[in-house]
A and B are shown apart, each in its own frame.
Chain A
């Protein structure tokens, strides 16, 4: 291998927010172009609020400190300031780190899917800028594949790890689809608003806002595109509301079980879900004992979140072993980019085909003497070898050129499918046709 793969970066674990802010990349395209100018072969950079990852494929002439210096200069900082807050992974360790990032195993909240989308965007930009070529292409495709595998084979992202999402998930467990359901927000507060927003995003039809101060209710209703309702008529509206989020500062219960008995009867026992985020609690805990009424307070939701978090940690162990095995398989591919193993693979493939065809032909011919058999075998193998002679000479010539080895060896491997990849029938359908 005449190239190195480096993954240099910083994240929420290695650097504080001030360093992350200072060394975030404001113009990724320009950053990548600059790195290509100093002689790296391929580059892709990702910059989010929690991390910067710079993936570089370069010849052995370029060192990690050169890349770090370039990065520090680009951000008007100094290498001595930047270096202690970064990590640098080389070759397979870099591959492993990228796969972990893609699978969200390295995220602040393990399993949160945003990072994959950000990675896809960065990759698309690098491809469009011509900064991502053979190795980064293959590496990123593999990273997306690993992320998909982790998502389908483990439960890493199957449960909510924030209070507001946990509330929405519970609502879905009760009502199924939230489309057409009506929600009510009693009081105000950041968490309650967030939960209400999640409910709206999940298809809740209408949101009503009740507040002791009507003007506050009107203001919030305007913001959330909801309907302000007078606090005094709370119970009248409750009989037509399915999900209630309460977070008032009231010192006593705002909704009482006795009243709720009447409400639930009035709404013909259609289920209701109360989310009580207030401390002290707004909703009489006895409400939960009524049939078809479900009540979760802030502690209950916290317990759900904690349980889900620990489940994610267990799943992360499974995910890590998937990442490890995929890293090894990627390592095999990297090694195959050397010319020699590819030539061996090509001749093996050719010999395999020749032998298979020979067996078929001999079967068709029936009784054949040994001399004819030998002649046929010699002919079949010779055709294979002769056919490969020119492509192999071509590969040998081209791989002597600087930086061309990976490209041509990879092309040959793909043309003959030497890695036995599964190729969908519509694999290249989406590619643009060249202009006539």
Chain B
């Protein structure tokens, strides 16, 4: 077993344990479970960071041609954003979104070892770094907001219809907290997404000689950007809060996920993953 493989098994074990603790903690109303979940997530995240660093050091520039790296980095971004949220609101509830997604993406990264990403020879390091880093963090923020959105709709519905709250419902954060997560995700996520897109287009100009090539991925990404921009506008100018932005951010996240899993694998695009 190589050091890489060993790391990866430990990371999976830690993320899995963390996820179990988070879920058990939320349903059993047990803060100690939440703390244990955090410890596992911290351990997993530290090793995950080291794993990514090792991959970059060992493979150098070619790491970007390995599909596994992207999955792994996206999973890592989820945990990173979760820690940011935990620091802000001291609640492990959002790990219910982050930890399963991070685990899934990390396992997918191992399954995607043989996937290759077509990268033109002369890639501009800064732009690709900026493009991927910002887009991934904004996707992670989107995921958190979508998770918060689902929770908001559930709790809002319970309160509006005066239905009895289950023990799980009683322990959920408030509606306001879910809305704040939506707010942060849009306020931070939209500028990052815009920056990521701009970096992507600039890089495309250098690499494919044209900024926009009607690539399916580019079309969907632009659609997401427009929806994101609309959401940003409605929140900042009109003052949208609560259910509407919650629903819209879920739609945006679902489209992004379809784009990530569907387009990258099955449709010809220059973001394609090839086995």
List residues of A whose CB falls within 8 A of some B CB.
Answer: 155, 158-159, 170, 172-176, 268-271, 288, 291-292, 294, 296, 300, 303-304, 307
Known pairs A155-B167, A158-B170, A176-B176; A288 contacts B160 (CB<8 A): yes
Residues of B within 8 A of A170 (CB): 159
On whether the beta carbons of A294 and B173 are closer than 8 Å, the reply is no
Residues of A within 8 A of B241 (CB): 268-271, 292
On whether the beta carbons of B160 and A294 are closer than 8 Å, the reply is yes
Chain B interface, number of residues (Cβ within 8 angstroms): 21
Asked if B202 lies at the interface with its beta carbon under 8 angstroms from chain A, I say no
On whether the beta carbons of A269 and B239 are closer than 8 Å, the reply is yes
Mask of B7-39 contacts with A, CB within 8 angstroms, 1/0: 000000000000000000000010000000000
On whether the beta carbons of A173 and B244 are closer than 8 Å, the reply is no
On whether the beta carbons of B174 and A173 are closer than 8 Å, the reply is yes
Shortest A319–chain B CB gap in Å is 15
Asked if B177 lies at the interface with its beta carbon under 8 angstroms from chain A, I say yes
Residues of A within 8 A of B164 (CB): 304, 307
Pairs across A and B, CB under 8 Å, 5 listed: A158-B170, A173-B159, A173-B174, A175-B174, A288-B160
| Of A172, A288, A303, the contact of B174 (CB 8 Å cutoff) | A172
On whether the beta carbons of B175 and A303 are closer than 8 Å, the reply is no
List residues of B whose CB falls within 8 A of some A CB.
Answer: 29, 155, 159-160, 162, 164-165, 167, 170, 173-177, 238-244
Known pairs A174-B175, A296-B162; A291 contacts B244 (CB<8 A): yes
Residues of B within 8 A of A176 (CB): 173-177
On whether the beta carbons of A159 and B170 are closer than 8 Å, the reply is yes
Residues of A within 8 A of B155 (CB): 173
Residues of B within 8 A of A292 (CB): 241-243
| Of B167, B238, B242, the contact of A291 (CB 8 Å cutoff) | B242
On whether the beta carbons of B240 and A271 are closer than 8 Å, the reply is no
Given the complex of chains A and B, what is the CA–CA distance between A228 and B15 in angstroms?
55
Give the top 6 A-B pairs by smallest Cβ distance, nearest first.
A268-B239, A176-B174, A269-B241, A176-B176, A292-B242, A300-B162
Residues of B within 8 A of A270 (CB): 241
Given the complex of chains A and B, what is the CA–CA distance between A159 and B162 in angstroms?
15
Residues of A within 8 A of B173 (CB): 176
When C-beta atoms are compared, the residue in chain A nearest to B91 turns out to be A176
Given the complex of chains A and B, what is the CA–CA distance between A77 and B175 in angstroms?
57
When C-beta atoms are compared, the residue in chain A nearest to B174 turns out to be A176
Given the complex of chains A and B, what is the CA–CA distance between A307 and B166 in angstroms?
11
When C-beta atoms are compared, the residue in chain B nearest to A300 turns out to be B162
Given the complex of chains A and B, what is the CA–CA distance between A264 and B70 in angstroms?
44
Given the complex of chains A and B, what is the CA–CA distance between A288 and B170 in angstroms?
21
On whether the beta carbons of A291 and B243 are closer than 8 Å, the reply is yes
Shortest A269–chain B CB gap in Å is 4
Residues of B within 8 A of A307 (CB): 164
Residues of A within 8 A of B167 (CB): 155, 158
Given the complex of chains A and B, what is the CA–CA distance between A288 and B157 in angstroms?
11
On whether the beta carbons of B240 and A269 are closer than 8 Å, the reply is yes
| Of B159, B238, B239, the contact of A294 (CB 8 Å cutoff) | B159
| Of B170, B176, B240, the contact of A174 (CB 8 Å cutoff) | B176
Shortest B238–chain A CB gap in Å is 8
Given the complex of chains A and B, what is the CA–CA distance between A303 and B163 in angstroms?
9
When C-beta atoms are compared, the residue in chain B nearest to A159 turns out to be B170
Given the complex of chains A and B, what is the CA–CA distance between A296 and B238 in angstroms?
27
When C-beta atoms are compared, the residue in chain B nearest to A301 turns out to be B162
Residues of A within 8 A of B170 (CB): 158-159
Given the complex of chains A and B, what is the CA–CA distance between A176 and B152 in angstroms?
13
Shortest A299–chain B CB gap in Å is 9
